[in-house]
Structure 1
Amino acid sequence: MREMTTAALVLGASGMIGLQVVRQLLDNPAYHKVYAVSRKKIALEHPKLEQLLADFDSINALIENLQVDHLYSCLGSTQKKTPDKAVYYQIDHDYPVKVASILKDNGCQVVALVSSMGADEHSKNFYLRMKGETERDLTKVGIPSTLLFRPSLLIGERNENRLAEDIFSFLFKGINLLLWGPLKNYTSIQGKDVASAMIHASLKNPQGVHIYKTSTIKELA
């Protein structure tokens, strides 16, 4: 059994993947402390868990002296929830980059980011360009192990209703069987599997920048 020597911070702890990451970290004997950052309290209690209620404007004061080994960035809004693109960009891009910069200066060794399939800083699509720019700028922060996860359609428990995604999730269960080879990266994936892959990869602490697409994420999970 691995010794409990690792502290982690989960940014976006109330989301589908973030909550799964928190749960799995609490069950993992390698971690002795888990900081969960969200705007409202999550329904979890554990001796290893400390909840930090914050947003973009208030996070600095809570983490400026915080030392963690691993940062899990699981933030992600939607255009429906955040129609103002400037606010959307602040949540999905500025927030994780700022937190990573602060924690890097405090000694953080690994950052694992939930990005998106098709992330591309040169894309004409706002969402994919934003995700690509987040990857680019997070990489520039210089955390020794930078892990970028690009899952396809996510399925699993959510706190909010996303009807269109629920419909696509149902349809993709059958379509997944038809996707082979390079097309396996387009299969849908459970949020809990993304969380598991992020933790497994982070504990391996691979140096440099690494990109994980759906098929590899499933293998790691």
Structure 2
Amino acid sequence: MKKTAIILGASGLTGGLLLDLLINDDRYESIKLFSRSKLEGLPSKVTQFIGDLLELKQFKNDFTGDQVFCCIGTTKSKTPDKDLYKKIDHGIPVSAAKLAKANGIETFLVISALGADAKSSVFYNKTKGEMERDVLKQDIKKTFILQPSLIGGDRKESRTLEAIGKDVFIVIQPFFFGKLKKYKSTDPKNMAKAMINLANSTSYSEVVITSDDIKRITINN
């Protein structure tokens, strides 16, 4: 039976790559996008629901399908206000998980970050950790939390500090082996492929998928 996928964050780097893959994947007959603005030039198998994702519950009746892919995330430079930052990085994924649970969706995947820890004193890590904790509280049958290190690739917006960070990572990554492998930067295309592989797999029992496993899952499927 063909599936219906829900994507949040399809306008972002990883979400956009994920959308392209799902469009060309014959296992999916329908893709639902929930976003603030409309994407142009999409095929008929894609339906878009436009509105304020901070009020995601308004879409409850339309939030139906087989799998949810949550690629929502912001940055300090884009969202310096901590309250708004938390509403986006914590509030939207948790609201999506609650809707998925309420509507009987049994597969939920969300992008978090390496170092996520609800008890951390670092705001970013703490926010991601609290998001993971509250998503898991929904007890969705098949939940996967992806924890990439720095995500590679080119984004539409300019992120000077992040670009510098990527350059540094390119230089030092050859020294990442053993326990340090998980700190290697993550290819966004690998991330998108891994999410689809996990969503359609019956063999993965791990809930938290770190960056070193993301590439392995992509290669082995």
Q: Look up the match of 2:15.
A: 18
Residues 100-129 of structure 1: per-residue CA shift (max 9 Å, x gap)? 211221111111110000000000000000
Q: Look up the match of 1:81.
A: 78
Offset at residue 165 of structure 1 (A): 1.2
Q: Distance in 1 between matches of 2:202 and 2:110?
A: 14
Offset at residue 66 of structure 1 (A): 3.2
Contact 2:56 2:95 in 1 (8 A): no
Q: Which runs of 5+ in 2 are unaligned?
A: none
Residues 114-162 of structure 1: per-residue CA shift (max 9 Å, x gap)? 0000000000000000000000000011110110000001111312111
Q: Distance in 1 between matches of 2:146 and 2:136?
A: 13
Instruction: Out of 70-79 and 171-180, give the one that drifted further.
Output: 171-180
Q: Look up the match of 1:68.
A: 65
Contact 1:145 1:205 in 2 (8 A): no
Q: Look up the match of 1:145.
A: 142
Q: Look up the match of 1:8.
A: 5
Q: Look up the match of 2:112.
A: 115
Offset at residue 191 of structure 1 (A): 1.1
Q: Distance in 1 between matches of 2:215 and 2:184?
A: 10
Q: Distance in 2 between matches of 1:44 and 1:143?
A: 33
Letter in 2 for 1:81: K
Measured on the aligned residues, the alpha-carbon RMSD in Å equals 1.7
Q: Percent identity?
A: 33
Q: Distance in 2 between matches of 1:206 and 1:105?
A: 25
Distance 1:28 1:135, change over 3 A: same
Q: TM-score normalised to the size of structure 1?
A: 0.92
Q: Look up the match of 1:131.
A: 128
Distance 1:188 1:209, change over 3 A: closer
Q: Look up the match of 1:154.
A: 151
Letter in 2 for 1:204: S
Q: Look up the match of 1:45.
A: 42
Instruction: Out of 161-170 and 210-219, give the one that drifted further.
Output: 161-170
Q: Distance in 1 between matches of 2:102 and 2:124?
A: 29
Offset at residue 44 of structure 1 (A): 4.0
Distance 1:193 1:207, change over 3 A: closer
Partner SS, residue 34 of structure 1: strand
Partner SS, residue 30 of structure 2: strand
Q: Distance in 2 between matches of 1:206 and 1:140?
A: 22
Offset at residue 59 of structure 1 (A): 2.9
Partner SS, residue 34 of structure 2: strand
Offset at residue 33 of structure 1 (A): 0.8
Offset at residue 167 of structure 1 (A): 1.8
Q: Which runs of 5+ in 1 are unaligned?
A: none
Contact 2:112 2:146 in 1 (8 A): yes
Distance 1:207 1:138, change over 3 A: farther
> 1:213 is matched with which residue: 206, 210, 213?
210
Offset at residue 32 of structure 1 (A): 1.0
Q: Distance in 2 between matches of 1:207 and 1:188?
A: 22
Offset at residue 205 of structure 1 (A): 4.7
Moved over 4 A (4+): 205-209
